[in-house]
Structure 1
Amino acid sequence: MHGSIMRHVITMAGMGAIGLMAVFAVDLLNYFYISYLHNPALTAAIAFSASINYVQIAISIGMTIGLGACTGRLIGARQHAKARRLGSAFIIVMVSLAGLVGITTAIFSRKILALLGAQGEALQNAVYFFSIISPALPLMCLGMALSALLRAVGDAKRAMRVTLTGAFVSATLDPIMIFLLHLGLEGAAISTVLARCAVVTSGFLNLKGHRMLEWPQKEDFIPSIKYIGRIALPAIATNLATPVGGLFVTHAMAQFGLNAVSGQATIDRIVPVAFALVFALTGSVGPIMAQNLGAHQFDRVKETLMAALKLTGLCVGITWLVLAAGQNIIVSLFNIHGEGVGIVKIFCSWLVMSYMFVGLLFVSNTAFNNLGHPFYSTGFNWGRATLGTIPFVWIGHYYGPIGVLVGQALGVVLFGTLAALTAFRVIKKLGPHSCNW
């Protein structure tokens, strides 16, 4: 709550970005390995199953946002004991809900995947892959929760270690499982589950010295759900919008064949690595805003938002130059053919710039969630996923798979801009009453 805001944002987001980049780089590497099995049905299977997995992750992230925002605000107000008590109880709620979601989606995965357009060999492989990773969703959710607590207390370095542990385990096991043991897609799924186990173990070990966990008392569950749920539930609704919109895009791409789906899947795995800093800002800036809000330092809240937006612009500009220059290498590395080639090239050349507005939306949503206006983020995200996706993509699909991508990009430009303008208006109105949510 003191010192340079920009330095604090860079430190928190930088550590988070390293961890996220490692995780998503492993996911990209995983996809790279599968692409070298030279079976479009396998790469398409990962793309289809990932669409559902993103929905699961969105639920976990939403609960994590609530946990991080509320514990961060309590820590900023010097109420460590309450933060520990409510946070510990809510983690049990998170893991239980994740278990329910994971098992339910695994049971109905075949019907869901078929609705997305998966069929034949791609459908069979997607169902098999998803049936292995989906029941392990509670492990992923718990790992996120432990990392969020580390960020809430300002320990970005240990939060990064937690994420890097999972990335290291996955990177080590993937080639062994896929190629050495000849398990293919099954090996990729098994390594994913084992990596989640490693993340949970690392999370407990790194959080040990901060005294942020205790065995929750029965009477703490309801207060934790009420207190943290006020942020977590809207955050879940907010985060669900993006993958739900993604489901519509996947369905639209499926109409153009497996090569188009594989091209889209390649983009979906390059983006998190390329924009790891932007995505890390959403998890790192939140606790900074929450702590300064709890300390009634409202000027520093605005300064935090400005710092995040500047870093977003810098990140997107650099990424655009790199991807535009390396588009042919990407096409060659991932064995992309047919419609997929044009999809990847148009994205790397021009559409990558739309992620400036994705960044505006994400950072603004973080501000809304941590400043007592979570329903704003819900509205903007669902606006982007519906009005900003469905009509644009529907019109675009008449012009082929590239039209689908262009339509998706145009929608996010509109809603990213509106969200950023609203975030500044919210911060301008901050006052002592803003902490009573």
Structure 2
Amino acid sequence: MRQGTTTRRHAAFCQGSIMRHVVVMAGTGAIGLMAVFMVDLLNLFYISTLHNPAMTAAIGFTAAVGFIQIAVSIGMSIGLGATTSRQIGAGHHDMAQRIASSFFVVMLILTSLIGFGTALLAHPILHALGAHGEAEHQAALYLYISSPMLPLIAAGMGCSSLLRAVGAAQQSMNVTLAGALISALLDPVLILWMHLELQGAAFSTLASRALVAALGAYCARQHDLLAWPVVRFIRTDTHRVGQIAMPAILTNLATPIGGIFVTHAMASFGLSAVAGQATIDRIVPVAFAFVFALTGSIGPIMSQNLGAGKPERVHETLVSSLKLVLGCVALTWAILFFGQNVVIHIFSATGTTASLIRLFCNWTIGGYFFIGILFVANSAFNNLGHPLYSTLFNWGRATLGTIPFVWVGMHFGPMGVQVGQVLGSVLFGVCAVMVAFGVVRNLKVEPAAIHPDSIPSLPPAQSAESAMIELDDLDNEAQEYEQGEEDARDRSLSRSGG
């Protein structure tokens, strides 16, 4: 594993145009996300052609359960990507490889427990969500097939984060596209032609996840990012990644709270209001795929430059990201403003549904600028040693930034609910960015050592306990390095004597 080329060990984001790095990373990520979102829409379309309301409802219930599972996987991949990026930026590729290999073991074990636990408790979980009858039965069958294989999607996300950590954005995108392609090909065959219905969708998802995990692991190995883990380092490496991963998991779990309240508020105004909100929820992921991709893309750029002791480039990354969010929202706003009649026609919207779509296309779409800058700020927090700030702002937006604003908006009808949801995002988005600039301004980093085999200079630990663990870890590395040098000399002497 140590015969990797210099290119593999090069910290790609520590030189060159920051704006270019951000655009390339987010652009390739957006393509992958768009492919996934489009496949999900096709999946739903195929199920809807069966004209079985129970099937369609089952998809909704499995999606609610799946979001919790995915949130855990995303949080762990964020922690993995941020930690390894910082080591790569400091010039310590071997340390990044060791941390990644150690944490992969823990990630696979945890997701296996979550996946099998979900399958065993499928009916109680679905019943608690309000599922019953045929919808509960179909959703349970889906979870029986897909949940035990949760480690596959965790592995795929983890490998994607590692590839982005070394700047291999195109490889990461290609892996995601391959998974989306296999799902798009299998969905109609399994669901419609073989009449497997929702179980066919589950098998298609399983095949897609397996392919992404296999290709991702292969590419990560090409970049010397994965190897057999060293058992004695698993605890310390997991602790290091967990300092970022745990808050990131909590952050990702915040979103359903606000979403459930908004849906409940819309439901009080009838099915047309719920349909309007559902239509907007389907437009948003496709329209703002670039903004969503930006969140995961700027992390490696910030982490590498932090590890390399270049805080000015970290600041430039934050500013460039905010400019791109503004440009993306402005462009999308213009397109939907002039194309709102087409959107309403495509979704056959009338009455309250059409009014909500018009309000979104004309005005409230602008609120996604503030949601976008909140995402950017959260990424900065996760990668600059302040992941709890990310958790605080996401939960703040999901509760204080949603419930009171939507409750007041309900007095003005469904339009008021939509406006209230946006106003809360404005408040927390602005506050989060202000704090993010403060974090970047107060960064205290030391330039990376010149010698490639030097011990990394890490940011201050968050607690005395973690500081002791890091010092012990570094001491172990130094001993390993010295032992390796002695072994090499012994082998050389043996060959000479022979």
TM-score w.r.t. length of structure 2: 0.81
The amino acid across from 1:408 in the alignment is Q
1:417 to 430, 441, 447: 430
1:435 to 437, 446, 459: 459
**RMSD between aligned residues:** 2.5
**Does structure 2 retain, via aligned residues, the 8 Å contact 1:47–1:261?**
no
In structure 2, the residue matched to 1:172 is 185
CA-CA distance at 1:37 after TM superposition? 3.7
1:206 to 215, 219, 231: 219
Instruction: Give 3-state SS (helix, strand or coil) of 1:214's partner.
Output: coil
If you compute each CA radius of gyration, which structure gives the higher value, 1 or 2?
2
In structure 2, the residue matched to 1:376 is 389
User: Is 1:216 aligned to residue 229 of structure 2?
Assistant: yes
User: Is 1:159 aligned to residue 172 of structure 2?
Assistant: yes
CA–CA separation in structure 2 for the residues paired with 1:250 and 1:292: 41
Give ranges in structure 1 of 5+ residues lacking alignment. Answer: none
1:242 to 236, 246, 255: 255
Residues 40 and 415 (structure 1), Cα distance of their counterparts in 2 relative to 1, 3 Å cut: farther
In structure 2, the residue matched to 1:13 is 26
Q: Report the identity percentage.
A: 57
Instruction: Work out which structure has the larger RCO, using CA pairs closer than 8 Å and 6 or more positions apart in sequence.
Output: 1
User: Is 1:297 aligned to residue 310 of structure 2?
Assistant: yes
Give ranges in structure 2 of 5+ residues lacking alignment. Answer: 1-13, 447-457, 462-498
Q: Where do 1:37-56 residues align within 5 Å?
A: 37-56=50-69
CA–CA separation in structure 2 for the residues paired with 1:347 and 1:218: 53
TM-score w.r.t. length of structure 1: 0.91
Q: Which moved more, 1:221-230 or 1:117-126?
A: 117-126
CA–CA separation in structure 1 for the residues paired with 2:92 and 2:184: 40
**Does structure 2 retain, via aligned residues, the 8 Å contact 1:42–1:122?**
yes
Residues 345 and 135 (structure 1), Cα distance of their counterparts in 2 relative to 1, 3 Å cut: farther
**Does structure 2 retain, via aligned residues, the 8 Å contact 1:143–1:200?**
yes
User: Is 1:104 aligned to residue 128 of structure 2?
Assistant: no
Q: Which moved more, 1:210-219 or 1:385-394?
A: 385-394
Alpha-carbon deviations, 1:174-218, whole Å to 9, x = none? 222232223333322221221111111211222232111011121
The amino acid across from 1:413 in the alignment is V
The amino acid across from 2:318 in the alignment is L
CA–CA separation in structure 2 for the residues paired with 1:350 and 1:431: 41
Instruction: Give 3-state SS (helix, strand or coil) of 1:154's partner.
Output: coil
Residues 77 and 266 (structure 1), Cα distance of their counterparts in 2 relative to 1, 3 Å cut: same
Residues 240 and 417 (structure 1), Cα distance of their counterparts in 2 relative to 1, 3 Å cut: same
CA–CA separation in structure 1 for the residues paired with 2:265 and 2:61: 12
In structure 2, the residue matched to 1:406 is 419
CA-CA distance at 1:255 after TM superposition? 5.3
| Equivalenced residues, count | 437
Residues 271 and 197 (structure 1), Cα distance of their counterparts in 2 relative to 1, 3 Å cut: same
**Does structure 2 retain, via aligned residues, the 8 Å contact 1:48–1:250?**
no
Instruction: Give 3-state SS (helix, strand or coil) of 1:435's partner.
Output: coil
Residues 50 and 265 (structure 1), Cα distance of their counterparts in 2 relative to 1, 3 Å cut: farther
In structure 1, the residue matched to 2:292 is 279
CA-CA distance at 1:244 after TM superposition? 3.3
In structure 1, the residue matched to 2:158 is 145
CA-CA distance at 1:124 after TM superposition? 4.5
CA-CA distance at 1:147 after TM superposition? 0.6
